[in-house]
Structure formats: structure tokens, C-alpha cells
Amino acid sequence: MAEIEKKPVKIVETILRDAHQSLIATRMTTEQMMPIVEKMDKVGYHAVECWGGATFDASLRFLKEDPWERLRKFRDGFKNTKLQMLFRGQNILGYRPYADDVVEYFVQKSVANGIDIIRIFDCLNDMRNLQTAVKAANKEKAHAQVAMSYTLGDAYTMEYWVDLAKRIEDMGASSICVKDMAGLLVPYKTTELVGALKDAVNIPIEMHTHYTSGVASMTYMKAVEAGADIIDTAMSPFALGTSQPATEVMVETFKGTPYDTGLDQSLLAEIADYFRPIRDDALESGLLNPKNLGVNIKTLLYQVPGGMLSNLTSQLKEQGAEDKFYEVLEEVPRVRKDLGEPPLVTPSSQIVGTQAVFNVLMGERYKMITKETKDVLAGKYGKTTKPVDPELQKKALGDEEPITCRPADLIPDELDTLRKECAQWIQQDEDVLTYALFPQVAVDFFKYRQAQQTKVDATVADTENGSYPV
């Protein structure tokens, strides 16, 4: 038999970002991560995903850490490995669209502080919301990867995905990620999808999924056999459940095949040994809910990502209406349809979920329409895949005309204004970006930082980098 040509699959490690974001609400600290960086740097990962997503908000809000400082420490520690971040298109790492000048400056500073690969996505797959970030990443000589938010529904045909992929390539992206945040991509469908994408475009295809529905490892296997170039995995202590398939398992799976990753299992085992006690502590403290580690097939029935399920549970608990859980789950797909069938990912998942809760608790649909639902109907988040329900739109907007342009076209430059607003707190250029994304949380953090600095010995303070040993 002819020798099959070798095509090693590349691995992106998610333990420093998506894995702990998915399992323990992004609570791993920089201090917990740094001691293992040197070992991780020897593995030969395609990249380590370590920044962006919810890490920025959680660092400031819960850990009282400067996310920029974390990134600089990673950059110093990872001498041979590319660093990757997740970026929400025009929403950056926040929950609203920002002006182009803020997006451009954020990309510039992310790259200057050490990011190599920026994965950019939009919750509606509206390409117009990605353009500024992609251009900025290319200008900074970073790798711009565009992620398609994968979902199911009438609108999402194979033609839809292939067309989207071609547009992503034309836009100047260096690679494409199939971002399956809810674990909806099943194995044989993956063969079809990856095959179609590989035929349509000439840039690498990366697969990202979550284990929530229990099929993710099989999905990766089929993806790699169909020609996917890169897969996202997490070291075993923080794998499975609402996180990614385990790195070591996928490395073992492809061993001795044309897709052999060539990664060293004994080195991976040492890294796993390091993270295991961190996971055990999280279980003991209740930070890691064992429920998050199981299989939840409801994600396939209701197309609701794992994180959204836990949000709905807590919203209902606060209202003392836990018995309404299944009613809300059944309302979610209906609300999603009314809003133009968007993929459910931050922030569209929160918007649809919250509206579904109101619809059920009020006993009447859309008796109360949230500001965010109204904004989706008004076109302020971008163009939905299918048209929104016209009657609901009329009810929410009255005589107000929905917008059809790119939402950011209506946002004037805001960097200078933001700089003036937070002038008293600025100690490093990046502080204005921290303030732009989370004004209230940032100011609390800046006050905390100032209080810490008054306690330190000036001779040990590293004023140059704005980092102060406490």
C-alpha cells in the first residue's frame, strides 16, 4: 500500500483561557498559572490560548489583577510558543459595540504586549462587525483568525457556511475557526462541513468545540480525517464537561497515524500533574460544580450552550421560579426565531435567555421587552441571519426606524473622550482600554491598585512596567 503522506494535526491548548472559563468561571489566577509556563512552552503547541474572552473582566472584577500585566508575564514566560486570544469583533471583550478607534487601539496594544494570534468572532456572524479588527490585526502583523459561530437552524445550510468561509478568506483573514460553542457539531456532519470548507478555501481550518453534549472527541476525529488543520484541546484536569476534549486523549488518538501530533505524553503528564491539585481545590471549594463535568444532551435538543444553561438556572432561582426551567428552555428557541435566529454566543445567548425568562415569568410573551432585545430588533448589533419578526419589531420600536448600516458607523471616535474621563487613574497606556471596556469595574480596580502602591517600598516598585509587588 502506498505510504499515506504525513499531515500532523496541530494543537491549541486552552487550559489558560477557555478551559477554566468554562469550568470554574475564569477564576484561575496568574500566580497559579506562571509556575507551569516554562514546561508548557516545551510541548510544541501550535499556540496557547491564554487571553481575551472573559479573562479580562474576571481578572479585574474578581481577582483584582491587571489583565495586561498577566499578558506581559505570559509573553516573558512563553519563549517558543505563540499566544492566542479571543476577541468579540466590534464588541472587543465587552458587551457593546465600540468605535473603530478603540478597536484598532486595543488590537495594537494586545499585539504590543505579546499576542500573536487573534481569534475574532461576531455573535451574529455579521462580517461587517469583524472588518475593523481583522484590518487592525493584519496591520500589526498578527495572525487574524475569523471564527464562524456555529449553530443549527433553517438558515444554517452547508451553502451558508461555505459562503461565509469564502467571505472570511476574501476579507483577509489568515485562517478560519469553526467555533462550536454549544457542542452542536456531531461527528458525521463534521466530515461534511470540513470537507466542504477545505474545498472552498485555501486557508487553514481550526476546530473549536465544547464537550457539553458528549460528542466532541469524535467530532474532532472526524474533523481531522476530513482535513482540519488545528484542534483546540484542554489538559485533562480541566477537560470534558463544558470545556474542550482532553489534550492527552487526542494526542494518543492520532499517535502512529498520518495525523500524529508528535507531542510528548510524559511531558503532558507532568503538566497534568501540576493542574490536578488546582482542579481538586476548585471542586472542594464549590467553584467547580461536578454537574459541569457531565454530559448534557439537552444542548442538542434546545441548542443552548452550557454556560447559558447555568445562567438560566440562577436567574430562575433568584425569582424563586425553578419549576419553570423547562418552560423557559422551550421558550428559548421561539425567542431566538423571533430575533432572526442568531447563533447563541455572548452576548446573543444572554439576550435571548433573559427575554425567554421574562416571557415565561410574566405569563405573556413580550409584555416586557428588555433594552437588549430592543437593540437586536433595531439592528444595533448588526444584521441577523434571517429577518426578525416584523410584528415584534413594530411593538418594540414603535415609529423608530431600524438601522441597516454597520452599527459602528454610527459611533463617533471615543478614545480621546475616554482618556479624559479616566485621566486621574492612568499609569500605563493600556489603562484607557481597561476603562473603555468596563468603566465601573476598572475604576474600582484602579482605586485598589493605588491603595496597594501606597503600601509598597518605592525601591522595589517596578514603575517602568507599572507592576508593583505587593
Which grid coordinates are listed for 395?
A: 411593538
Residue-wise pLDDT for 431-449, tens only, equals 999 999 999 999 999 999 9
Question: What is the Cα–Cα distance from 88 to 424, expressed in whole angstroms?
Answer: 28
Termini Cα distance of the chain: 64
To the nearest whole number, what is the mean pLDDT of the chain?
94
In this predicted structure, the answer to whether residue 313 has a pLDDT above a threshold of 90 is: no
Fold category of 303-403 in CATH: Cyclin A; domain 1 (1.10.472)
CA 193 from centroid of its chain's CA atoms: 21
Give the chain's radius of gyration (CA, Å): 22
Question: CA-CA distances (angstroms) from residue 177 to 142, 182, 242, 346, 383?
Answer: 16, 15, 19, 17, 21
Residue range 276-285: mean pLDDT, rounded:
97
Residue-wise pLDDT for 78-128, tens only, equals 999 999 999 999 999 998 899 999 999 999 999 999 999 999 999 999 999
- Asked whether 160 and 181 are in contact (CB, 8 A), the reply is no
Which grid coordinates are listed for 47?
A: 499556540
Residue type, position 250, single letter: M
Cβ–Cβ contacts within 10 Å for residue 160, how many?
A: 15
Question: What is the Cα–Cα distance from 416 to 451, expressed in whole angstroms?
Answer: 27
In this predicted structure, the answer to whether residue 461 has a pLDDT above a threshold of 90 is: no
Task: For cell 441548542, name the residue.
Answer: 303
Instruction: List the alpha helices (DSSP H) in 410-464.
Output: 415-421, 431-437, 439-453
Residue range 396-412: mean pLDDT, rounded:
97
Kindly state the percentage of the chain with pLDDT values over 70: 96
In this predicted structure, the answer to whether residue 322 has a pLDDT above a threshold of 50 is: yes
Nearest C-alpha neighbor of 205 from the set 226, 219, 186, 188: 226
Which grid coordinates are listed for 109?
A: 496594544
Q: Is 187 helix (H, G, I), strand (E, B) or coil?
A: helix
Q: Domains of the chain: which residue ranges?
A: 8-283, 303-403
Do the first three CATH levels of 8-283 and 303-403 match, i.e. the same topology? Answer: no
Going 451 to 452 to 457 to 463, the CA torsion angle's sign is negative
Question: Residue 458: is it exposed, middle or buried by C-beta count within 10 angstroms (0-12/13-18/19+)?
Answer: exposed
- Asked whether 136 and 104 are in contact (CB, 8 A), the reply is yes
In this predicted structure, the answer to whether residue 464 has a pLDDT above a threshold of 70 is: no
For residue 451, what pLDDT band results from cuts at 50, 70 and 90? very high
Q: For the chain, how long is the longest CA-to-CA vector?
A: 72
Residue-wise pLDDT for 206-265, tens only, equals 999 999 999 999 999 999 999 999 999 999 999 999 999 999 999 999 999 999 999 999
Which grid coordinates are listed for 334?
A: 421561539
Nearest C-alpha neighbor of 437 from the set 62, 111, 176, 55: 55
For residue 462, what pLDDT band results from cuts at 50, 70 and 90? low
Which grid coordinates are listed for 44?
A: 510544541
Nearest C-alpha neighbor of 179 from the set 101, 125, 105: 125
Nearest C-alpha neighbor of 100 from the set 127, 68, 67, 135: 135
Which grid coordinates are listed for 390?
A: 416584523
Looking at residue 467, its pLDDT comes to 47
> Which residue did the predictor score with more confidence, 315 or 14?
14
Question: Residue 159: is it exposed, middle or buried by C-beta count within 10 angstroms (0-12/13-18/19+)?
Answer: exposed
Residue-wise pLDDT for 150-182, tens only, equals 999 999 999 999 999 999 999 999 999 999 999
Fold category of 8-283 in CATH: TIM Barrel (3.20.20)
Question: What is the Cα–Cα distance from 272 to 233, expressed in whole angstroms?
Answer: 13
Which grid coordinates are listed for 244?
A: 474542550
- Asked whether 78 and 37 are in contact (CB, 8 A), the reply is yes
- Asked whether 168 and 176 are in contact (CB, 8 A), the reply is yes
Nearest C-alpha neighbor of 298 from the set 308, 283, 290: 308
For residue 347, what pLDDT band results from cuts at 50, 70 and 90? confident
By 3-state DSSP, what share of the chain in percent is helix, strand and coil, each rounded to 5?
50, 10, 40
Nearest C-alpha neighbor of 232 from the set 119, 311, 372: 119
Give the E-state strand segments of 244-341 in sequence order.
none
